Chains A and B, each alone.
Chain A
Amino acid sequence: MGGVLTVFRRELAGYFATPVAYVFIVIFLVLAGALTFTIGNFFTRGQADLQPFFTFVPWLFLFLVPALTMRLWAEERRLGTIELLLTLPIAQWQAVVGKFLAAWAFCAIALLLTFPLVITVNILGEPDNGVIATGYLGCLMVAGAFLAVGAAISALTKNQVIAFVLAVAACFFLTAAGTPVVTEFLSQRVPQMADIARAISVTDRLGGFSRGIIAARDVIFFASFIGFFLFANTVAVDQRKAD
C-alpha cells in the first residue's frame, strides 16, 4: 500500500500547487449555492432539508469531475512523466488507485466546503441531520463513479480535450438515464429499456441516499462500478502507456 499512499500524496498536493484546486472549489461552491437558492427554491419550499442541493450535485459534477480527470493520465503522457512514474518500483494498479483516491479526496474536500448550507438549514429549522449525512455520502458515491469513468477515459488518450468531452458524455449518460424525461419516454415506447436506464442511473440511486436510505444494492452498484472502471483503467494504462 506504500505505493498507493505515495502517489495519493503527490497527486493531492499537486491539485493545490496549481490553480486547479481553487478554480474547481470556487466554481463548485458558487454554482451549488446559486442553484440551490434560485432554481432549487430553497426558501419557498419551506422545508428544512438539503434536497434541492443534492438534486443539483450530479449535474455540477457532470462538468467539474471530467475537468479533474481529463488531466490524470493524458497530462502524464503528454509530459512524458508516465515513463518516470511507471519505472518507479510501484505496481500499475497502485498508481491507478492512488490517483483515483487523490481525486476522490479532493471531491470530498469540495463537498465538505458546502458546510454553510448545513448550518443554514439548522438555523432555519430542525432538519434530520442523519438524512443530510447520507445525502452527502450519496454525492461522494456519484463523484467516485464519475471519477472512475473519467480516469479510465483519460488513460486512453493523450489529448485532454478529448478526455474531457468523452468523460462529460459518459457522465451525462449516467445522470440523464434516470431523469423523468428519459424514463417516461422509454417506458411508453420500450419498457425493457426503461428498466435498464433506471438501473444504470446515478440520479435514481442518489435519490435514495438523499432520503436517508443506504440500500445495499446501491452501495454494491457504486462499489462494483468504481472497481470495474479502475480495473479498466489499469488495463488501459498498461496497453497504451508507451504510445
Chain B
Amino acid sequence: MTALIEIERLTKRFGAFTAVDDVSFTVSKGEVLGFLGPNGAGKSTTMRMLAGFMTPTAGTARICGDDVVDKPVAAKRHLGFLPEGAPTYPEMTVTGFLRFCGRARGFHGSALADRVTRAMHLTQLEGVRLQPVETLSKGFKRRVGLAAALLHDPPVLVLDEPTDGLDPNQKHEVRNLIRAMAPDKAIVISTHILEEVSAVCSRAVIIARGRVVADATPAELAARGPSMDAVFRELTLSEAPREAA
C-alpha cells in the first residue's frame, strides 16, 4: 500500500514553546486515522501544517508525494481540508460558497454544478442550498465545511473535529459517510470523542504535549487497560504538563 500522507519529524515552535515536537507518521489509502489528544496537544497545529496553512519549523509533510512547503499548490489539490470550527463566509449562500470552492479547484460549467450537487447530497444540505451560511445552525455550518472538503473527491481528507457541534443523528450520518469513503482515500480525523475512534478509525495516533505517545489500532489501545478512557488518561497525563491548560 502506498502512503498518501507522509509526515516526517514535523516540528512547530512558537517562540520558546514547542507546539508540535518531532511528529512522524504515514497514512495509506484505505486507512482512517484518528488523531487524538487533549486540548492544546498540537492536533490542530499538525493538521494546519499538513494542509499547508502553517509553515513547519522543521521536518516535512507530503501529500500524494508532493511536499506541502515546496509544492504547496500541487499538495493542496490532492487535499480536502476541514479547518477547526469549519469557517465559512457568512454572507454567502450554501450554493455560492460551494461554487466558489469548486471554482478555486478548477471546475467550471456543468462539472462544477455536478460537484456541488453531489457534495450537497452527501452532506444533506439540499434543503438549505439558497440560505446564507450565517443563518444556519452550528450543525449545518459544520456540514457546509465538510461539503467543501469533499467537493473535489480528493484522495486525502484531513478533517479537524468533523463531528463537533453535531447532534447524535448527524454524528451518525457523518461517521457513515467517512466509513463509506474510507476504502479509496486516506483520511485523518481529529476528535476528543473516544467512541468515535472505535466506531470509524482503523488506526489511532495519540498526541500529548506535541509528541506522539501511541500509534496503534483502536482495539490494541483498548486492550492496554480497563477501558479506552483509562488508556487515554494514562498516556496523556503520564508526564507533568508544561503549561496550565
Contact = CB atoms under 8 A, between A and B. Distances in A.
Contact of A80 (B81, B85, B92): B85
A9 to B, nearest CB: 8
Interface stretch (B34-42, B51-59, B185-193): B51-59
B19 to A, nearest CB: 11
Interface residues of A, number: 23
Contacts of A87: 51-53, 76, 79, 81, 83
Interface stretch (A12-20, A60-68, A180-188, A215-223): A12-20
A242 B48 contact: yes
A113 to B, nearest CB: 22
A90 B73 contact: yes
Interface string B75-114: 0110101011101111110001000110111100000000
Most B Cβ at <10 Å: residue of A9, A80, A81, A84: A84
A13 to B, nearest CB: 7
B157 interface: no
Given A6-B100, A13-B96, A89-B104, A84 B87 contact: yes
B10 to A, nearest CB: 15
A116 interface: no
Contacts, number: 69
Interface size, B (range): 20 to 34
B90 A79 contact: yes
Nearest to B152: A89
A105 B103 CA distance: 20
B156 interface: no
B66 to A, nearest CB: 11
B120 interface: no
A88 B89 CA distance: 14
Given A10-B92, A87-B76, 18 more contacts: A9-B103, A10-B89, A13-B96, A14-B92, A17-B91, A17-B92, A79-B87, A81-B88, A83-B53, A83-B84, A84-B145, A87-B52, A87-B81, A88-B76, A90-B73, A241-B53, A242-B48, A242-B54
Interface of A: 2-3, 6-7, 9-10, 13-14, 17-18, 79-81, 83-84, 86-91, 241-242
Smallest CB-CB A-B distances: 4 pairs: A80-B87, A83-B83, A89-B76, A88-B104
